[in-house]
Chain A
Amino acid sequence: MVPAAEDSADWGALSSLPGNPIMWVLIISELLVFGAFFLGFGVARALDVPTFRAGQALLDIRLGGLNTLILITSGWLAALAVQARIRDERRLARLLLAGAMALGIAFLMVKGIEYHSKFELGYGLDSDTFFTLFFLMTGFHAMHVVMGVLVLAIVAWKDTVVNLETGTAFWHMVDLVWLILFPIVYLVR
């Protein structure tokens, strides 16, 4: 395939992915890091099932479930925004991105409520292995949500199709990570 004159960079196999190829390098790296985290969580649980069950019993499944619904709805709006931008409906695309960002902020607020309730009960990062991993994994993910909201704001401002594809790809990666984190931390006990 001959690249267009204005798109001289040859990214090889990465060129077939939507958005900027560098974002996909980041997405794959992030999935590997979170994957290692999840496998570490599984091994730590296998070594001390009672501690993990006791810790998980203190989590509010409804808040975790609510946050799952919030993130997947946010991802849906972000995906619709890309399609709207491809059709040159820029105003609609920005509105959809604003909705996606608002839901990202809602996710962080729910996470804040959840953390507050754990702190009030006296649980923190150093309480036991379960809570150390719980706060590290969900905290690391929440930092990605913060970054994702900022990225969505930037691409809503500089709203080329490639920028939207790139920014929303990061957001979907954050969504994807949560879809694995939620069942293993909250549901499977």
Chain B
Amino acid sequence: MIVAETKAASNRRLTRAWLVLVGLTLVSLTAALAVGRFESGLAAAAVALCASYIKARQVLDHFLDLRRAGSGWRAMFSGLLVVILGGLMAAYVAAG
């Protein structure tokens, strides 16, 4: 069992991850409500999917604590995210 981090350090790390998640959500939400709901095109879709990747990584690395697992696991989950989000981006490109 792992108690490498102090209480303050672990709370700070998790709170920082939460703030990143809240910040990215509020930015995308505000942009969607104010600028016209990402109908503006593929660039907006790419930004939204990139934000989704960053948020997913925060959850994987900090909430799920994958940073403690081997690099192979992190690469596997990153690859899975890239396949899903990349596939979605390809579908948006195909739709035009």
Give A contacts to B, CB under 8 Å. Answer: 13, 16-18, 28, 31-32, 35, 38-39, 42-43, 45-46, 49, 53, 56, 61-62, 65, 68-69, 72-73, 75-76, 78-80, 82-83, 86-87, 161, 165, 168-169, 172-173, 175-176, 179-180, 183-184, 186-189
Contacts of A176 in B (CB 8 A): 56, 59-60, 64
A161/B38 in contact, CB under 8 A: no
Neighbouring A residues of B33 by C-beta, 8 Å: 61-62
Contacts of A186 in B (CB 8 A): 32
Chain A residue nearest in CB terms to B14: A79
Interface of A is mostly: helix
CB neighbours (8 Å) of B38 from chain A are: 187-189
Give residues in B with beta carbon < 8 Å to A.
1-3, 5, 7, 10-11, 14-15, 17-18, 21-22, 25-26, 28-29, 32-33, 37-39, 44-45, 48-49, 51-52, 55-56, 59-60, 62-66, 68-70, 72-73, 80, 83-85, 87-88, 90-92, 94-96
